[in-house]
Structure 1
């Protein structure tokens, strides 16, 4: 008890830990934690903590991306032609305050997510499944309390029943997402959150829960509970009333340490067990092979990144003259497929893999992880070919582009060397093809670029997508559909692609879905809406004092946060 009290004191005062004890896991990250409310968790920093305090109905089985297993549920059945899901819930599960979890808590959780849903909360895709729309009641008048209440109910047997308006082959995978973790209804209402009633739901529609009372005072069923925290430090302890296997590590400390050198020194000294790295080139040079470090390489990468070529740029500030006169570009500059194909041939993919990814990269055929069902390795890819780029530039805009030239201004995320290098490579390549071609690149703060690109104001940016759920739909619809999440940033529209994507959403036949996604991939190659960035090979490293599930190739799952309960430390 004395050691625990001392550790708490050091953590809250911000003092550095030294020779961290075997019963304490120390994690250091560069940034802060936006929220601890599951209902608005939509980033990796937040989910890393939420996933250990809260639990979902089901989760991924081991390292599998396709097999799901019960967590707070014990089993489920599917009926009504694939539109009704009935879940049996685990008995005698306790929240951290001692309350017993009931079906009412689960119903409240999903209704709360549907009520407060916003595009930035991560609940848009569960709303799409249960209500038939990504929007909340403020943005879609067809969303009513009756629809929300009818979508999820507890039956007389205490089972949780979801009723979908149409078949959704990705529904179970969506339930494994962090944001669908079960919260305590009675406790939430007692601290000022929505009370779960029809009388008050309207006042909570679309409400930002980032700094909610539940975020400040989380209360889950998970293996760890929050003891205390300040701006830079979080202290968790194993929950004695946890229904599952008791964690081997008693305490977990999460520290914000912005300085990379300080994090590196901490793990090399043994003061920290897990730290946020700085990318392969830096981590290999500074960390790999050092005493006391375990390095795990060749892990699956489930992100997808691309150059977006906006076909309807809604900001005059980036257009120069606004004409194809050698002094700017028109707002629809990228609407000509020949421009997009030329840009795609102008990027040196292999050079990027060699120089930036240190040879640990892979050129994909689609904006979909190659480990996901639906990926087609036979779809054609673009390769660096200056002659073909020149050919398409000469065809673009009836020959006027080649004749007059252009000036394009492109922003990239500030302080990201990989994005800056990619932009510089493309700029150098294109400007070498024709002296009349000019690309100005400039850094921009990430939050500002996210907001402006969502408004369609960025001409060309590099942005990626990490999956919310392990289903091809989460990538293919997001990138390629004219009403997909990223559509405002690209303004790409293709009637055939839209038709195939919608068909893939209405069947549970995986072979048919694979066929449809192959059609999309081939059509996207022809239309070239994006320049597909090579995918880096994932890796991780940690203190050799730590072992356990999620740290090895055999147990690593890119869809889940690291579960502290499966770790041991010596």
Structure 2
């Protein structure tokens, strides 16, 4: 979810007639066998992504959703959200007053799915491995406050932190700290391909075609000991080439549920006139979309240009034209439903105000129109992305202050180019690692940040981020969190656009749908069952 670049949309041709027939849901919620969940997420083992499901490499929402079913973590986020609770651990807590020493006691009798015993040394091995490999696309930056790990006896792990970090329990609930077996994972090398095993509620069998995953079958792990309570014995995650074909499979009964990603048009259609036997379920969501900037690129190096862009874009009109009820305007990196949110961009620029934009450019002596290319990825964020960037272009060009073109690129080329600084302006999205304001700010503003941006603010890095993390009561972090949002609005290294709403659709007879995806977009397949679903 780099973190956490939402998930790749599947390439054309993945859904073959043979795949559709094999493992067919056979009439929606009725019958037995695997519960089949559709997705447009794409997983490819290639040179740019050799190990999609290795916890030391995986850092996107789709890959994490596979890992959450298979690789256990010490903590997990409860089904309704909130503070993390023990999972592979029986108890975890800070043992000092400064939030720098965190101790976990493991559940008794833990084993990996193959029966190998699991102990404190496995936890240490797994997390040390992520930090040792430190893949540039991986989640090592999430563990930046971790100093060292100590094991004690047969059941205790102690984490010593470099600086106070009240958010550390949340990090232990992410697949970045997933526990793996040293017999199947090398301490210094990625595990290439699609194999994944651990001690989670399921084992996973991958079906691969042309180096792309087309089906993942999750079977209940009989050795599992943890806090989760699977409501099924088998779930199949089936990949589709696009939202349209996935929606058709749901309505004709070939699959039971769809998670990611319904198109805006489908959400509108399923809401107004749902197909027979299908229900649309709205869920809380914390996905955000934004424009990022290479602040050293000549065209946007002067922050007045970035500020003028912030003043010019009308988020309400953008959403109304492209996303409808599936999104809402966002005026900060922190979503409106997360504690500490401040409407910093609205407070400074309003919304869709070309006059303010013109004044900013004039005062800075910027010649207009400013010629700018907005880059986006064609195959990563769903069906609305191209239309979104065309709408942004139209808005900006209508001001006569900008001369904007847009350029779409496949993710395999887009992400490396963005990280290298080839794009002056680009579109990305973010699914949070955990539902705390820290995770919407620090990954963009710390030294080893997700964007690879040259932007640096010493007040944020040396004072405000550490200050916010010292607060065990997260309400006490509000002042530092608010100040960071105001600094982002002033300097505009990123420009927030909208906050997404989540929807899943399922056939009658499938239970647990309302718990199957939580607010941070974790896919919780263990919640799905069969019966009367209301």
Q: With structure 1 as the length reference, what TM-score do the two structures score?
A: 0.79
Q: What is the CA–CA distance in structure 2 between the aligned matches of 1:85 and 1:377, rounded to whole Å?
A: 34
Residues 147-199 of structure 1: per-residue CA shift (max 9 Å, x gap): xxxx11221353111112221121111000023121223x32xxxx32x6xxx
Is 1:40–1:210's contact at 8 Å kept on the other side of the alignment? no
Q: What is the CA–CA distance in structure 2 between the aligned matches of 1:352 and 1:93, rounded to whole Å?
A: 50
Q: What is the CA–CA distance in structure 1 between the aligned matches of 2:389 and 2:206, rounded to whole Å?
A: 43
Other-structure match for 2:245: 262
Find the partner of 1:504 among 468, 490, 499: 468
Is 1:94–1:242's contact at 8 Å kept on the other side of the alignment? yes
Greater share of helix: 1
Q: Which has the higher contact order (CA 8 A, sep 6+)?
A: 2
Pairing of 1:416-431 with structure 2 (within 5 A):
418-431=384-397
Displacement of 1:417 in angstroms is: 5.1
Is 2:36–2:256's contact at 8 Å kept on the other side of the alignment? yes
SS of residue paired to 2:145: helix
SS of residue paired to 2:114: coil
Is 1:14–1:233's contact at 8 Å kept on the other side of the alignment? no
Q: What is the CA–CA distance in structure 2 between the aligned matches of 1:181 and 1:112, rounded to whole Å?
A: 11
Is 2:232–2:526's contact at 8 Å kept on the other side of the alignment? yes
SS of residue paired to 1:524: helix
The number of aligned residues is: 492
SS of residue paired to 1:408: strand
359-368 vs 172-181, which moves further: 359-368
Measured on the aligned residues, the alpha-carbon RMSD in Å equals 2.8
Find the partner of 2:514 among 536, 552, 556: 552
Other-structure match for 2:48: none
Other-structure match for 2:116: 99
Q: With structure 2 as the length reference, what TM-score do the two structures score?
A: 0.84
Q: What is the CA–CA distance in structure 1 between the aligned matches of 2:493 and 2:221, rounded to whole Å?
A: 49
Displacement of 1:228 in angstroms is: 5.7
Other-structure match for 1:561: 522
List runs of 5+ in structure 2 lacking aligned partners. 1-16, 45-51
Other-structure match for 2:275: 290
Pairing of 1:297-376 with structure 2 (within 5 A):
297=282, 299-313=283-297, 331=298, 333-376=299-342
Find the partner of 2:261 among 274, 277, 280: 277
Find the partner of 2:133 among 113, 116, 137: 116
Displacement of 1:120 in angstroms is: 1.0
Q: What is the CA–CA distance in structure 2 between the aligned matches of 1:495 and 1:563, rounded to whole Å?
A: 39
Residues 98-131 of structure 1: per-residue CA shift (max 9 Å, x gap): 22322222222122222222231112212x1213
Residues 274-326 of structure 1: per-residue CA shift (max 9 Å, x gap): 234342223332686111112112x322122212233212xxxxxxxxxxxxx
Displacement of 1:19 in angstroms is: 0.7
Find the partner of 2:166 among 149, 164, 169: 169
Matched, 1:233 2:215: yes
Other-structure match for 1:22: 32
Pairing of 1:143-182 with structure 2 (within 5 A):
151-156=148-153, 158-182=155-179
Other-structure match for 1:220: 198
List runs of 5+ in structure 1 lacking aligned partners. 1-9, 132-150, 197-203, 314-330
Find the partner of 2:503 among 539, 564, 570: 539
Q: 1:41 to 1:210 in 2, by over 3 A?
A: farther
Q: What is the CA–CA distance in structure 1 between the aligned matches of 2:416 and 2:132, rounded to whole Å?
A: 23
Displacement of 1:511 in angstroms is: 3.6
Pairing of 1:67-78 with structure 2 (within 5 A):
67-78=83-94
